Chain A
Amino acid sequence: MNPEERDQFTEQLLDATLRQYSTAEPAPGLEKRLLASLALAPPKPKPIAHRWPWMLAAAAVLLIAVVSTATLWHRPAPQVANDSTLQATPVVRADQPTPVVSILSAPSKSELALPATRHHATTAVNTAAPHQELFPTPAPPSEQERLLLSYVDRTPVPELLATNARMAAERDADLKRFFANADPANSAGDAQ
């Protein structure tokens, strides 16, 4: 094959090949398959304009949550310094020995753990008196309570524990006696 013939042959071959290059035909039923797949397609998402009421509601809820959290976090300390009922506390303490006074005036663990920046106003108050809204106004102890406090103050701890154990044992014995007397049939059955 001379160069001219080869060139002509190549030209024909290229034309014929490229004509066949994209002659592929789809398998029968392509349209049906396409329409079926379109029918199964998930629905088009709603445009943003249709969703704005929900977005607005969600934003409002979020705003309320944020404001509530912020309000609770920065709640001001209660103003208790001038409460007349608190003035009674030192009177009670004055009547009683030192331990009772130290319990009332010492700040609680949770108050000690709080950052100083949050309750800087409260810290000064705590040393003088408890929170009024958390702890109801302390009334002067009754005569019986005063006797109990003085007993507790005077008695050493081991003796207190021993007394407590003895009282518990007595309570148990009383209960057993009570139930034994209350159900004689049962006790008779037990005896048999």
Chain B
Amino acid sequence: MLVNAVAINPKTATDKVAVASLDALVREHARFVFRLAYSVLRNHHDAEDAAQETFLRVLRHRQEMEEVADQRAWLARVTWRIAVDRVRRTPERDHDDLAPLLEQLRSPQASALQLAADAQMLRLTETMVAALPAELRDVLTLSTLEELNSREIAEILGIPEGTVRTRLQRARQRLKDKLNELMKGGRNESGRA
């Protein structure tokens, strides 16, 4: 198998253990790391690049990694920093024409679930999330990952767990207000704040 054939040139017995644990770490957490990066970057290619950078950092610090108690949380923090750093450098993408979606929102013929499955609805949500203040956006973005609970989000962002809950409520309320405004045919039809 190719994965088993991969050699990271272990020289000592300690290195061999470290490489084996790195291999296990990639297998166990690659998908989580990817999804976390994707939640920020909103792009498959960028998310995979960020995942690769995350594990490269693990490789560089593999001996210190052995001493980390919660490796998943450590990985999440590293991935988060890498993704946020990358998203700052990425130019803003062009958004789809959301006029047909807004028409549907004003006189909905489909259920909420059907609307949510619409790709344009996802684009609209991305636009609304991006328009949130950073402190609310960060909490909301991390909360959309089913793998993370509020304690872990607090750990990644370095804030108290209570603050996470408060910010999450505020972020959701803002999005809800925005959606209501759009459904009523509010003045900002593009959905951008």
Contact = CB atoms under 8 A, between A and B. Distances in A.
Interface of A: 1, 6-7, 9-14, 16-22, 24-27, 30-39, 41, 43-44
A37 B56 CA distance: 8
B175 A14 contact: yes
Given A22-B144, A26-B34, A38-B8, 20 more contacts: A9-B108, A12-B113, A13-B179, A14-B179, A17-B122, A18-B144, A19-B116, A20-B122, A22-B141, A26-B47, A26-B48, A30-B51, A31-B27, A31-B30, A33-B48, A34-B30, A38-B26, A38-B55, A38-B56, A41-B59
Contacts of A32: 2-3
Interface string B17-40: 000001100110011001100110
Interface string B109-137: 00011011100011001100100000000
A22 B38 contact: yes
B60 A44 contact: yes
A34 B53 CA distance: 9
Interface of B is mostly: helix
Contacts, number: 118
B6 interface: yes
A17 B48 contact: no
Contacts of A21: 39, 122, 125-126, 129, 141, 144
Interface string B161-193: 000000000001001100110011000000000
A17 B128 CA distance: 12
B44 interface: yes
A32 B6 CA distance: 9
Interface string B135-156: 0000011011110000000000
A113 B115 CA distance: 91
Contacts of A17: 116, 121-122, 125
A35 B26 CA distance: 7
Interface of B: 2-3, 6-9, 22-23, 26-27, 30-31, 34-35, 38-39, 44, 47-48, 51-52, 55-56, 59-60, 108, 112-113, 115-117, 121-122, 125-126, 129, 140-141, 143-146, 172, 175-176, 179-180, 183-184
Interface of A is mostly: helix
Contact of A10 (B38, B44, B126, B179): B179
> 4 tightest CB-CB pairs across the interface, nearest first?
A16-B116, A12-B112, A22-B39, A21-B144
B59 A44 contact: yes
